[in-house]
Each structure stands twice: as structure tokens, then as C-alpha cells.
Amino acid sequence: MWIQVRTIDGKETRTVEDLSRLTKIESLRLKIQEIFHVTPQQQRLFYRGKQMEDGQTLFDYNVGLNDIVQLLIRSQTDPPDSPSSTPDTQPPTSSRTTLINPGIGMYKINELVDCRDVSIGAWFEACIENVTLAPKGQIVPTKPRVGRPPKRTNGNNRNNSGLNLESNGASTSQTDSTAAEIKNKDEDIIYHIKYDDYPENGVVEMKLVDVRPRARTVLRWDQLQVGMRVMVNYNMETPDERGFWYDAEIVTLNQTSRTNKELRVNILLGGPGDVIGDCKVQFLDEIYQMETAGAHPLSSADGQFKRKSGPECKHCKADPDSECRFCSCCVCGGKQDAHMQLLCDECNMAFHIYCLNPPLATIPDDEDWYCPTCKNDTSEVVKAGEKLKASKKKAKMPSATTESQRDWGKGMACVGRTKECTIVPSNHYGPVPGVPVGTTWKFRVQVSEAGVHRPHVGGIHGRSNDGSYSLVLAGGFEDEVDRGDEFTYTGSGGRDLSGNKRIGEHCFDQTLTHMNRALALNCDAPLNDKDGAESRNWRAGKPVRVVRSSKGRRISKYAPEEGNRYDGIYKVVKYWPEIGKCGYLVWRYLLRRDDLEPAPWTPEGLERIKKLGLSVQYPPGYLAAMSNKSKKEPSTEPPSKRVKIEETFQLSEQQQQLIQDDTANKKLWDEAMENLKEGPNFLQKMEQIFMCVCCQELVFQPITTVCSHNVCKTCLQRSFRAQVYTCPACRHDLGKDYVMNQNKTLQILLDQFFPGYSKGR
């Protein structure tokens, strides 16, 4: 077994081979040390979001073949947390109403101003807390417009910035001429402000261009003129509702009667050319004059000068007397005792501490709090540095209860599948589309991934009430006879396979149950569990996919020299019980080949394998691991020579006509037709082209949208039930009343190219 270890930055990936599923994490660290030259103390290993700890095994973390484990290298010395040297000072509340001249800049401390949030272009009421000079060489940052944030922020948040009012207190006696002598540019001045409605944002740094005196003058209708710039209230998302305050340029003024008035403006967001045109203003009695620098300064002693903004809650319109489970306690809806409410850090819903079940006596001291619905069971959470919780499922496995010290984790049958065949269901009879006769895989687990024979170890795949779908001929019984086009096969059972043993001597008779019964059902004859039966018409029986293993070379010359080879479709001719060489009763089956594709050991079959360029398929990373193990260069996986495929994929006349009729997918079919020369690989390209973007499977009951994308009908219906009325691939608006017409032509073609794929959908 081998895995990939990749550094957390993704710059280096190395293969670690000669591992077992039972390899301890501390042993893995030693192997990583040899490759990356990093001591185990500096290694932090992560797999699927979990930090891997010593004392556990790869099996505990379900690490599979060729999976990627991330490596984070600790620094030699972790820098200690250095507390901020800037004291957290706040101005005394008694001086909030007094304007203080800082000696620099155009605005005074405690002055009421409007500040623009550059991320959305709206203006909000604020108060100046301090005025400072930018450090030499520092450019005052300006955030780009990145969309509407949930909170009012602008520039760098300076909650703990020092507001040195003591040094600025002496500036109250200075005159404007003294400030002019300092010769500082306005661009070098930083205004430290605090939003009135968003105190949780703390003190925020602002530039002069985003600060102006507080708006105070309401303009009447007869004072408005086209081209005038004013401040209006507008909601970008819902224009009919109250929103934020923006600068605007009047475009049209229409008045048909005393009460019927219409005002349309261009919203100015601050940037050059950043304008939203033709916006209808709803609140005509609340149009403010834009104040300019030099206006009379206002403080809280002069009044609040507050404008109406959109309500924080759209459900109750911020009515303090009405109950609301959205902006207040979601249990009782009451707005009383706001200081006794907890806000869930997951769902963002509020709860009174006495409304919880069970209720809390006091507010918890924890920084994070989660409501009972969102809270995770801490007993199931594996924190960093902790070992995994005991698994009841793994504790019941034979490998956990046996006293054997044998390392069973190195076998390829133990690594598990890295992918699963979904093109046909697991109970599919007949060939698997895209897998020609003669395809060979190195390991049985690859045969399972291809969908030809699903079990990793078992010889027969089937269901006792349905039939058998595939079997592997591996020469497990010495009295089996293989003649190529037909062979005798011995059923399963009769061995002691208790614990984790996979081999054993015969110790009891076989019975016609389970997989033996499943294989007997493939015979075209009534089931007989005593004497067996012979088919009336052997070709009418159910097909069985047959895979020959290289392990059968000792009894058969038709077995491959390496790996596991798919040899086509066979039918059960007859089955019967007899006493085998082992001395116990066994069930025999005679299977005969019934496949149009030539057998891989015949001259025709060998020629076809050559034309298709078939060779032994290895798992990803296998050749690199083997070359590293044998210390051969290069250490990376050598590039395999691409064998030219001489046999093209043949289309029937009906398929060619159907492709021409499917005009909605003409572009996709043109792309697919370019891969006909790839032979069976043409079907793999078809899977990629006609894959549903929702379920990531071959599209079933396809709906071809107006934007030429194919989606499963059930997937699109699920999207519409979620009130998403756009194309899942490109987000083209389909509309709520979109009629889902199935592309029957495409469905017929897919059924012909992939027979049986719709059976399991």
C-alpha cells in the first residue's frame, strides 16, 4: 500500500510506499522524516479534516490507496503572543458635547459628521473621536468596493487605537492661523470616527474625502431643480422600501397634482463613473441638502440630527411594542430584557436565558455560544491533539477480536475502492459499456472499480433471489476444468473462513444456497437443489460476466499471465452435485461462452486487443511506488507510451440518424464525433460530455435547456422546488413557468450506448 504526502502549500508531493492499513501514525512520521527531512516533532498530519495523532493507525482514519495526507511543518520556535503596546483609552463622556480643536484638519473632535462607507457608497451618521497625522510614508488605506457588507466598516478597524486627548487638549486655545502654520496636507490627516448606529464596529479610520458635516437642512419640493445634487434615501435591493442614504443628482421632476409627484435621480456612489441611473425616490419629504466643508460644526449638545434609515428587521419594522421572533427572542418573541439575550454564533438567532430549556441563571462567560439546535455533541468532537473516539463498528470486526499478530493490512483487497462504477447498477446483467473483452487489471479491486465484478474477494457476485452477475475463475479448486470456450466451475462454501482467514481446507459439504443458488438461477431450467438441472436452451439463460485471474495459470492455459482479464459473457449450461477430490459434496457448474466479441486467446481476439491498444491497467501511483521500492530511477511514475488505437467506434445507421435529429445538442455531438477514432474510449468521452452538472452522473431523462445544457429531469425539478429557476450549469434564467420537455432522442441514444444504465436510476 502507498499514499501521497503533500505539503500544506501544495508545492511538494511525495509517495510513501511499503505501508499497511495497520501502520501506526508514529511509524508514518519516521518514513516522512526520511523523505522530507522533517523531525516527527515538527510534523502535523491532516487527512480529511482530521489531525492524525500517534497511537492510531491508517485504518482508524480510513486512509485509502493513493490518498493524499497533508503535511504542515511546525516552525522551530513559536513566537509568543505579544500584547498590543497601544493602551485602550476612551475619551471621558463628560467631554462628548464639547468641540475640541485638534489643531489639524478641517473637523473638530466630537463634531457630528456624515461618513461614507466606500464598500456600498452610502452615508452614515458618525462622530469624530480623534484627529491624527498619518505616519510618515504611510498611505491612508481606502477599501475597494467589494459589495454590501453586513456591518458598516470602512478602512482599518482601530478598536484599540490610542485616542490621545490629553495632548490634544492644549490645542483648544490655538487659532486657525496656528493650524495653517503646521503646513500639513489634508490627505495626510486621519479622522478617527465612530458610527452612531453601529457602535460595535469601534473606532474606524477615515480619509477627508469620505467625511463631511452632518446633513441638517430638509429641502422642499419647490426648492428642487434638475441637475441639483442632494441626499436621498434609497434601497438598492427593494426600491419600494426604505434603505440607506446616498448622494444623488436630480434627473427629472414631475408633478401632475398637489399629491402626485415623481422624482428620478442618478445615485452617486463616490467613484468616477460609479452611478446607478434612473432611480425613483420614494420619500419626497426627506430630501436633504448636501453640506460642504466649512458649514457650522454641530455637536451632540445641538441635537441628534438623525435621519430615518431602513428598519433593522423587515418583519416587525423595528416596532418596539410588537413581538418578533426574528429580531428578538425566537422562543417568546419579546423584546424585553435585551441584556438577558444570547445570540447564537451559528444561526444568529436570539434567546432569553430564561427561555432556554433548561434555562440559564446567568450569561455564560464563553466567547462563543450555540443554541441547543446548533450545538454539537462535544463528546463526539475530536479536538486537535486528541485520539479518535472508539468505533463500535470497528470493534466488532474480526480483525479487532482476533489474537493473531499477523499484519493483514498490506493486501490490495484491504485498501478499498477509490472510485465506484455508476454507469450501470450493481445488479446489471451483461457487458459493462466501455469495457471491451481483453481488458486486464492488475488487482481485483480495480475490477470492482470498473463494475465488471464488484466483490473484492468473493468469486461469485449475485443475489440468491435474482441470479448471478459475474464470477472470477481463479483455479481455487484443483479438479476444475477449463477448455476456454467452456469450463466447469465449483461453487462457494465448504471451507472454514472464520475470523479474517480467506483460505482454508474443506471441512463440510456445500449447499445450494446464497451465491451457489444465485448462479443456478442463471440456468434456463427450474431450480433443483437436490439433483441439479440442465438448461432447455442454454443461450436463453441469464448472462454471466467471467473474469479469469492469473492465479488460475496452474490449472489453465487460458488464464492471463498477469492480473485479471475480462473474457466476455458466458451462460450456465447445467449444474449438479458431486463428491470432489476433497472428499466433500461440492456443486459443479458448466458454463459456455456466448459472446460476439472474439475470445482474447484466439488470433482474432489478440488482433483486436492490439488494435484497441489494451494493456494491463495499474492503480494510480503503483508504478512510481514500485520503482521507488526497487530504487530505480526516475523516482516519479514513468510516462507510458501511448499505443495507437486502430479500431474506431462503429455507429449504426439508426444512431447516426438520431444524432442528426438531436439539433439542440449539435455542438456537443460534433465534439463527441471527434473521438470515434478512440474506440471504446469514445464512451468515456460521452460520459463526460453528457454528465449532469447536479448529480455528476450520466444524464437521465435529459432536459435540454435553451442555453444548450443537459440536466436530469429529477435534478431540475429538485432545483425548482428549492425556488431556483436558473440553469444549474450557467445560471441562465429559465423562469418559474419553464416547461420541462424531455429530450427523447438523446435518451434513446444514451440507452443504446450505455445499455442498462437507466435501470438503476
Over residues 83-134, the pLDDT tens digits come to: 444 444 445 444 567 888 888 888 999 999 999 998 889 999 999 999 998 8
Please check whether residues 432 and 572 belong to one and the same domain.
yes
Using only the alpha carbons of the chain, give its radius of gyration.
38
In this structure, are 318 and 261 located in the same domain?
no
Half-sphere CA count of 586, side-chain side, radius 13 A = 23
Residue 634: cis peptide before it, omega within 30 degrees of 0? yes
* 644 occurs within a structural domain: no
**CATH code of 328's domain:** 3.30.40.10
Is there a single domain that holds both residue 574 and residue 437?
yes
More confident of the two residues 80 and 329: 329
Q: Above 90 in pLDDT, residue 702? A: yes
Does the structure show a pLDDT above 80 at 715? yes
Whether residue 98 lies inside any domain: the answer is: yes
3 state SS for 171-204: HHHCCHHHHHHCCCCHHHEEEEEEECCCHHHCCE
The answer to whether residue 623 sits within a structural domain is no
pLDDT given at position 191: 92
Mean pLDDT along residues 578-601:
91
- Same domain flag for 365 and 452: no
Ramachandran class of 149: left when φ > 0, alpha when ψ lies in -120 to 50, beta otherwise: beta
Asked if residue 42 belongs to a domain, the reply is: yes
186-228 pLDDT, tens digit per residue, is: 678 899 999 988 887 889 999 999 999 999 999 999 999 999 9
Count of domains for the chain:
6
- Asked if residue 201 is part of any domain, the answer here is yes
Domain carrying residue 344:
313-372
412-469: pLDDT as tens digits: 667 777 788 888 889 999 999 889 999 999 999 999 999 999 998 889 999 999 999 9
CATH number, residue 42: 3.10.20.90
Is residue 280's pLDDT more than 60?
yes
- What sign does the CA torsion over 13, 17, 20, 25 have? negative
Q: Please indicate, yes or no, whether residues 481 and 600 belong to a single structural domain of this protein.
A: yes
Q: What is the CATH number of the domain that holds 182?
A: 2.30.30.140
Nearest CA to 6 out of 66, 58, 53 is that of: 66
Residues 225 and 206 in one domain: no
Whether the predicted pLDDT of 174 surpasses 50: no
Residues 493 and 576 in one domain: yes
* Angle between helices 681-689 and 666-673 in degrees, nearest 10: 160
Q: Is the pTM of this model over 0.85?
A: no
Domain contains 712:
yes
Same domain for 203 and 229, yes or no, is: no
Name the average pLDDT for the chain.
83
Task: Identify whether the C-beta of residue 658 lies closer than 8 Å to the C-beta of residue 748.
Answer: yes
CATH at 279: 2.30.30.30
Q: 610 vs 497, 606, 644, CA distance in Å? A: 41, 6, 9
Report helix, strand or coil for 698.
Answer: strand
Q: Using the predicted structure, report yes or no on whether residue 169 has a pLDDT greater than 80.
A: no
Percentage of the chain exceeding pLDDT 90: 44
Determine, yes or no, domain membership for 628: no
500 & 448 share domain: yes
In a shared domain, residues 487 and 554:
yes
> Which residue among 180, 213, 246 closes a domain?
213
Whose cell is 452610502? That residue is 122
Residues 166 and 256 in one domain: no
CA pair distance 264, 253, nearest whole angstrom = 7
How much is the pLDDT for 625?
Answer: 72
